[in-house]
Chain A
Amino acid sequence: TQLLEQSPQFLSIQEGENLTVYCNSSSVFSSLQWYRQEPGEGPVLLVTVVTGGEVKKLKRLTFQFGDARKDSSLHITAAQPGDTGLYLCADPSGAGSYQLTFGKGTKLSVIP
């Protein structure tokens, strides 16, 4: 199973600040997904990136896939309390394409 390393593990910021979280691997990803999990709920898909160098935007969230497809970042502009949650990156195409494996996540707290 490909190992996905996420950093930082915890992040606590004030409302209005910008932040970036990271997902890295020593191996090349075929593609990569980002999910957000709110307290008491299951994770929900935010985005899938497929092409090296790809940038996708979802309102104040910007996702980037590294040129070599070994890393990805999630940047949040002007964080809001509603952004609070656990951000997980995932490899959706492991082990013959049917396996879905997650990193340990970044727990984000946005303080009003």
Chain B
Amino acid sequence: DVKVTQSSRYLVKRTGEKVFLECVQDMDHENMFWYRQDPGLGLRLIYFSYDVKMKEKGDIPEGYSVSREKKERFSLILESASTNQTSMYLCASRPGPLNTEAFFGQGTRLTVV
């Protein structure tokens, strides 16, 4: 079975902390994504990657960075967490570009206090 695993289901961090959200896929997929989901705003793309060490900004990259040192792992980094980054974060992967199916993790509910 296809699996995308996010390291934490729930996370509480303090303002100003550096936060790492980890995502691992076991399908040898090329393409990986990080989204945040907020009520009424849908899934907004933060960053995506199409290969190891390759990354591209999505629609809302400000305040975030990413790392993809190995094909199976895509990390989202909040350099200095702020309260407006409280959200549900979803990781996804897919085999390649275009019409391939994306598989999602269960999400990390991050609260910044």
Tell me the A residues contacting B by CB distance below 8 Å: 1, 6, 9, 30-31, 33, 35, 40-45, 48, 50, 88, 90, 92-93, 95-105
* Distance between B16 CB and nearest chain A CB, rounded to angstroms: 29
A-B contact pairs, 21 of them (CB 8 A): A31-B98, A40-B106, A41-B107, A42-B4, A42-B105, A42-B106, A43-B102, A43-B104, A50-B99, A92-B98, A92-B100, A92-B102, A95-B56, A97-B98, A99-B45, A99-B48, A100-B102, A102-B45, A103-B42, A104-B40, A104-B42
* Distance between B25 CB and nearest chain A CB, rounded to angstroms: 12
Do A42 and B98 touch across chains, with their CB atoms under 8 A apart?
A: no
Which residues B16-60 have CB closer than 8 A to chain A?
A: 31, 33, 35, 40-45, 48, 50, 56, 58-59
* Distance between A101 CB and nearest chain B CB, rounded to angstroms: 6
On chain B, the residues within 8 Å of A95 by CB distance are 56
Q: Which of the candidate stretches B63-71, B73-81, B89-97 sits at the interface with the other chain?
A: B89-97
Q: Give the interface centre of A31, A33, A100 by most chain B CB atoms within 10 Å.
A: A100
* Distance between A24 CB and nearest chain B CB, rounded to angstroms: 14
Tell me the B residues contacting A by CB distance below 8 Å: 4, 31, 33, 35, 40-45, 48, 50, 56, 58-59, 90, 92, 94, 97-107
With contacts A100-B33, A100-B94 taken as known, whether A48 is within 8 angstroms of B99 at the C-beta atoms is yes
Do B43 and A98 touch across chains, with their CB atoms under 8 A apart?
A: no
With contacts A9-B40, A99-B45, A99-B48 taken as known, whether A45 is within 8 angstroms of B101 at the C-beta atoms is yes
Do B97 and A105 touch across chains, with their CB atoms under 8 A apart?
A: no
Q: Give the interface centre of A9, A48, A98 by most chain B CB atoms within 10 Å.
A: A98
Q: What separation, in Å, do the CA atoms of A97 and B90 have in the docked complex?
A: 20
On chain B, the residues within 8 Å of A101 by CB distance are 45, 59
